[in-house]
Amino acid sequence: MQPFDKGWVERLERLERQYGSKHPWEQPLKYRIATDDDLAPARRVVNNFFQRCPQATQARLLPRVRSDKLCWDTYHEIVVGDMLSRSGLAPEYEHLLAPRLTPDWYVPPEGSEPGCYVEVFSHNLPPMKDTPVLQELAFRVLTIPVCAWITVTSSMEPESDQNGETAKQCCEHIEGWLDKGDWEQGQSRTSGAFVFRLERLPERPGHVMLTRKSIASFIDAGRLRTMIQSKVVKYGEACWKTGCSLVVAVFSNPFFGPDLEDAEAIIWGRPIGSISNAHHTCITIARDRSGLLKPDSPVSALAWLTLQDSDWSSRVLSNKRAHVRLSARMLRALDTSAVEAF
């Protein structure tokens, strides 16, 4: 039972009939995972996990991963489940923690190590006004036959209604600008509510690309912090009462998510300076008290997941003074370089 197996000819043909003629920005993720060679790693993760997980878990996840609306969040849940199962653990999907509380994954206790609940926080931020335009624009510019790297930032008028400019019109503006040939590196143009800056234009065949670094600046870190905190409030006390650790696994959206430095500020507090010892062999970053991981917090750790070279890497930000510490086996499963918060 694999949702994205190319051997399922009939299913793929049905997907092709349903979505193949649509524009890329109108095609759901499930279609792109099933058909796009660039997303073969994502397809492999899902299929491999379905081969390992119990049939009961397969039955619950299959309709979700095939759903237009739920596929993206479910895919991220599967990425975390795959990390846990590849480490020899046996994660249970939506195990009941308390009445009406079912975090995404539960790993039962083993020996002296406590059980652990993992809640996966995907890119489910409320959509920003500019987000749909940027998503469509990121696909449209790929049709411009010029090899250029362009950054996009918000104009100085955050309340602008984009002056009626659609993604199509913004793309036409960029193409017309590049077609004139009178540009230089560092030049910028404004279209609607966005400012486009030419970063690099090598002399070789290719297509225009919007760089991820600049697009990520559209994230509202304050809102993201609030939503992560809501996960801690929702599940933290129940985990503490059951003697289990709690991990919130956060996926940074490739286009609209903050980077690790932003995550550390949200979780540990904003940096206010650095401290070095007398021999200058160790430098500690001093932070303010705005971070989510407090000494008395019920959350054991946050796992920050980012996509690198078609594979997911994870950085665990641990709270060693949490009510229940994260076990070594969970740390090994979810982390590439563990760092302690206190």
Residues 6+ apart with CB under 8 A from 53: 61, 81, 85, 93
CA atoms within 13 A on the CB side of 206: 11
pLDDT tens per residue, range 178-187: 877 666 778 8
Give me the pLDDT at residue 69, please.
81
pLDDT at 81 over 70: yes
Give me the pLDDT at residue 219, please.
52
pTM comes to 0.73
Helices 71-86 & 40-52 angle (0-180, nearest 10) = 60
Asked which of 42-46, 47-51, 325-329 is least confident by mean pLDDT, the reply is 42-46
pLDDT at 198 over 70: yes
pLDDT at 256 over 80: no
Asked which of 40-54, 161-175, 292-306, 314-328 is least confident by mean pLDDT, the reply is 161-175
pLDDT at 332 over 60: yes
- pLDDT bucket at 54, cuts 50 / 70 / 90: very high
pLDDT at 212 over 70: no
Give me the pLDDT at residue 258, please.
61
pLDDT at 12 over 50: yes
Amino acid of residue 241: K
- pLDDT bucket at 127, cuts 50 / 70 / 90: very low
CA atoms within 13 A on the CB side of 90: 6
Q: Residue 322: exposed, middle, or buried by beta-carbon count in 10 A (0-12, 13-18, 19+)?
A: buried
In the chain, where are the structural domains located? 1-54, 70-125+220-342, 131-218
pLDDT at 227 over 50: yes
Q: Which of 119-133, 283-297, 307-321 has the highest mean pLDDT?
A: 307-321
Give me the pLDDT at residue 95, please.
96
pLDDT tens per residue, range 104-121: 999 999 999 999 999 998
Beta strands in the chain (DSSP E): 92-93, 105-107, 116-121, 148-154, 188-191, 194-200, 208-210, 245-251, 271-276, 283-287, 301-308, 311-318, 339-340
- Say which residue, 203 or 257, is predicted with more confidence: 203
Give me the pLDDT at residue 129, please.
52
Asked which of 73-82, 303-312, 321-330 is least confident by mean pLDDT, the reply is 303-312
Query: For all residues of the chain together, what is the average pLDDT?
Result: 78
Give me the pLDDT at residue 57, please.
94
- Say which residue, 158 or 109, is predicted with more confidence: 109
Give me the pLDDT at residue 9, please.
59
- Would you say 97 and 106 are in contact if contact means Cβ atoms under 8 Å apart? yes
pLDDT at 102 over 90: yes
